[in-house]
Amino acid sequence: MNETARILVIGGGYVGMYTALRLQQKLKHQLRRTADASGRSGSRGSDAFSGVSAATGDPQSGSSGGVEIVVVDPEPYMTYQPFLPEASAGSISPRHVVVPLRRVLQDCRLVIGEAVSIDHPQRVAQVKTLATDEEGTGPIEIPYTELVLAPGSVSRTLPVPGLAEHGIGFKTVEEAIGLRNHVLEQLDIASSTRDPEVRDAALTFVFVGGGYAGVEALAELEDMARYACRYYHNLRAEEMKFLLVEASGRILPEVGEEMGTYALRELRARNIDVRLDTRLDSCENRVAVLSDGSRHPTRTLVWTAGVKPHPVLAAAGLPLNGRARLKCTAQLRVDGVENAWSAGDAASVPDLIARDKGEEDATCAPNAQHAVRQARRLADNIAATLRGEAASDYRHAYAGSVASLGLHKGVAHVYGRKLKGYPAWFMHRAYHLSRIPTFNRKARVLAEWTLAGLFKREIVSLGSLEHPRAEFELAAGGSRRPEKDY
């Protein structure tokens, strides 16, 4: 009897979700056969991972017996990260920034858990789930035929004193909404205190990192906070201090030097203090100490100074480059390894377009533009391999970049054309609206933008959501909600 070939996708982000979605379409007949054999796709328990064909290197192995796609991710949703700044500013509801994987990947089997190690010679992954934590049984083993490593990246931190205690990240929807609540909470503190030092620290907001995440998050939150000040009788927008710290000599390098200079000028025109060639040396005791010697008491320090590959890559025993990313070929295979594939943040993929122009050793930038397109090519190549056909190279000419600088403000460098102000902001919204998955999400986001143009901005802080049991614990004789470290 022919056994099932299992494609294991580690990660449910851009690459993971789009790869699984594309594989659903390309292998729908084999997936239906698998679903029929199991009674219902995804209905088996976590201990029923069996029936996988041997990974012999034969591209036809298991294809006639059906195909199963298993997606492993710690969260049951994919976060569309370009919309995090707008979610933090209240322009988009947080539930519309995420895409539910179970709804989109209905023909795949979703395992909510985290891969802790991979034994590729044996074609087995060790996965820790919520159930294994509760049972204390240790990780489950998931055998596979083809492996897609797309765990994404994690925040890259530095050994800065006080950063772990007081820093706030900006990579997940929970962090974005938590930061919004925190900023509005600081306005409440500043409005109600009589201590000038507490007031000044509450109204000082420090952002570290001048890339996309840092600039867009700062610009959107500054817009929101400035608007919110009109509803506080004793606060003026001019009293707030926003500080952007960047270790290099420019911000937004992705949009080019000219547009980056415009963005810098635009931010400084809004009284945002941008410090270039400057590093954060310490943030102990809620005081940001910079490399230029200045000290800034602050209750808000947002860390957006880059990302690094997910730790599971180091535990996979596969070839890595100097930046701890998987070495991949233009076909998105892990270099020199059979039945292993990768793309996106986790992979170092040759940029064939740039190399054709004479840029030796050029690799694709780890951004969403490449990730989405690589995912489609990766899925097509896996499907072709299972059918015994040849895989194709990934080629994509970089289209350009767009960045928001707050409501009705932005910069763009697309197909050689440079835009700024309202046209760039409109292009930013139009581009990302076209890229967010599913028609459902597109319609919801568009409806929210339309309503936001008709009504005033919401400035309600729902910080209590971070401690939902606080009131019940107090009523039951406990203490008040735990104090936040930031």
Q: What is the pLDDT of residues 1-14, one digit of tens each?
A: 357 889 999 999 98
Q: Are residues 224 and 294 in the same domain?
A: yes
pLDDT at site 390 = 93
Q: Are residues 9 and 131 in the same domain?
A: yes
Per-residue pLDDT reduced to its tens digit, 327-366 = 999 999 999 999 999 999 899 999 998 888 888 888 988 8
pLDDT at site 484 = 62
Examine residue 394 and state whether it is found in any structural domain, yes or no: no
With beta carbons less than 8 A apart as the criterion, state whether 344 and 152 touch: yes
Quote the percentage of the chain above a pLDDT of 70.
90
Q: Are residues 344 and 379 in the same domain?
A: yes
pLDDT at site 359 = 84
Cα separation, 470 vs 411, whole angstroms: 43
Identify the CATH number of the domain in which residue 313 sits: 3.50.50.60
Examine residue 19 and state whether it is found in any structural domain, yes or no: yes
* Residue 188 CB-half CA count within 13 A: 11
Residue 60's alpha-carbon distances to 50, 146, 225, in angstroms, are: 19, 12, 58
Per-residue pLDDT band at 140 (split at 50, 70, 90): very high
Examine residue 463 and state whether it is found in any structural domain, yes or no: no
Q: Are residues 287 and 167 in the same domain?
A: yes
* Final residue before a domain boundary, out of 285, 305, 325: 305
pLDDT at site 465 = 66
Examine residue 49 and state whether it is found in any structural domain, yes or no: no
Give the closest residue to 105 by CA, choosing from 348, 331, 375.
Answer: 375
Query: Does the pLDDT value for residue 58 go beyond 90?
Result: no
Q: Are residues 411 and 423 in the same domain?
A: yes
Query: Does the pLDDT value for residue 84 go beyond 60?
Result: yes
pLDDT at site 36 = 59
For 385, the enclosing helix (H) or strand (E) is: helix 368-386
Q: Are residues 339 and 351 in the same domain?
A: yes
Per-residue pLDDT band at 42 (split at 50, 70, 90): very low
| Domain that residue 425 falls in | 399-456
Q: Name the residue with higher pLDDT: 42 or 202.
A: 202
**Extended strands (E) in 283-374:** 287-290, 295-297, 300-303, 307-309, 326-327, 340-342, 347-348
With beta carbons less than 8 A apart as the criterion, state whether 132 and 140 touch: yes
Residue 240's alpha-carbon distances to 80, 207, 214, in angstroms, are: 30, 14, 18
Number of H helices, E strands in the chain: 15, 24
Per-residue pLDDT reduced to its tens digit, 162-191 = 999 999 999 999 999 999 999 999 999 999
Q: Are residues 73 and 101 in the same domain?
A: yes
For 3, the 3-state DSSP assignment is coil
Looking at the DSSP assignment, which residues form a beta bridge with residue 326?
A: 320, 347
Examine residue 475 and state whether it is found in any structural domain, yes or no: no
Cβ-based burial of 346 (10 A; exposed 0-12, middle 13-18, buried ≥19): buried
Q: Are residues 269 and 409 in the same domain?
A: no
Query: What is the four-CA torsion angle of 404, 405, 407, 410, rounded to 10 degrees?
Result: -60
Per-residue pLDDT band at 201 (split at 50, 70, 90): very high
Helix, strand, coil percentages for the chain (3-state, nearest 5): 40, 20, 40
Q: Are residues 19 and 148 in the same domain?
A: yes
Average pLDDT, the chain: 87
Per-residue pLDDT reduced to its tens digit, 379-428 = 999 999 998 999 999 998 777 788 899 888 999 888 778 888 999 999 98
Q: Give the count of domains, the chain.
A: 3
Per-residue pLDDT band at 307 (split at 50, 70, 90): confident
Q: Are residues 285 and 356 in the same domain?
A: no
φ/ψ (deg, to 5) at 260: -65, -40
Q: Both tokens of residue 149? A: 């490593």
Report the sign of the C-alpha dihedral through residues 342, 344, 349, 352, in that order. Answer: positive
Residue 327's alpha-carbon distances to 7, 28, 341, 348, 361, in angstroms, are: 20, 30, 10, 5, 12
Residue 93's alpha-carbon distances to 44, 85, 216, 412, 444, in angstroms, are: 34, 11, 17, 25, 9
Angle, helices 173-192 vs 212-228, to 10°: value is 40
* Final residue before a domain boundary, out of 260, 275, 305: 305
Examine residue 319 and state whether it is found in any structural domain, yes or no: yes
Examine residue 363 and state whether it is found in any structural domain, yes or no: yes
Cα separation, 22 vs 25, whole angstroms: 5
Q: Which residue type, as a one-letter code, is found at position 258? A: E
Length reported for the chain: 486
Cα separation, 57 vs 62, whole angstroms: 11
* Residue 289 CB-half CA count within 13 A: 10
* Final residue before a domain boundary, out of 305, 326, 353: 305
Per-residue pLDDT reduced to its tens digit, 437-465 = 889 999 999 999 998 888 877 777 776 66
Examine residue 51 and state whether it is found in any structural domain, yes or no: no
Cα separation, 123 vs 142, whole angstroms: 8
Identify the CATH number of the domain in which residue 213 sits: 3.50.50.100
For 363, the 3-state DSSP assignment is strand
Q: Are residues 348 and 231 in the same domain?
A: no
Query: Does the pLDDT value for residue 57 go beyond 60?
Result: no
Cα separation, 366 vs 134, whole angstroms: 36
Cα separation, 274 vs 167, whole angstroms: 19
Per-residue pLDDT band at 265 (split at 50, 70, 90): very high
With beta carbons less than 8 A apart as the criterion, state whether 448 and 93 touch: yes
With beta carbons less than 8 A apart as the criterion, state whether 229 and 237 touch: yes
With beta carbons less than 8 A apart as the criterion, state whether 201 and 299 touch: yes
pLDDT at site 358 = 84
Q: Both tokens of residue 137? A: 């049984």
Cα separation, 381 vs 377, whole angstroms: 6
DSSP state of 123: T
pLDDT at site 279 = 95
Q: Are residues 181 and 251 in the same domain?
A: yes
With beta carbons less than 8 A apart as the criterion, state whether 251 and 264 touch: yes
Per-residue pLDDT band at 41 (split at 50, 70, 90): very low
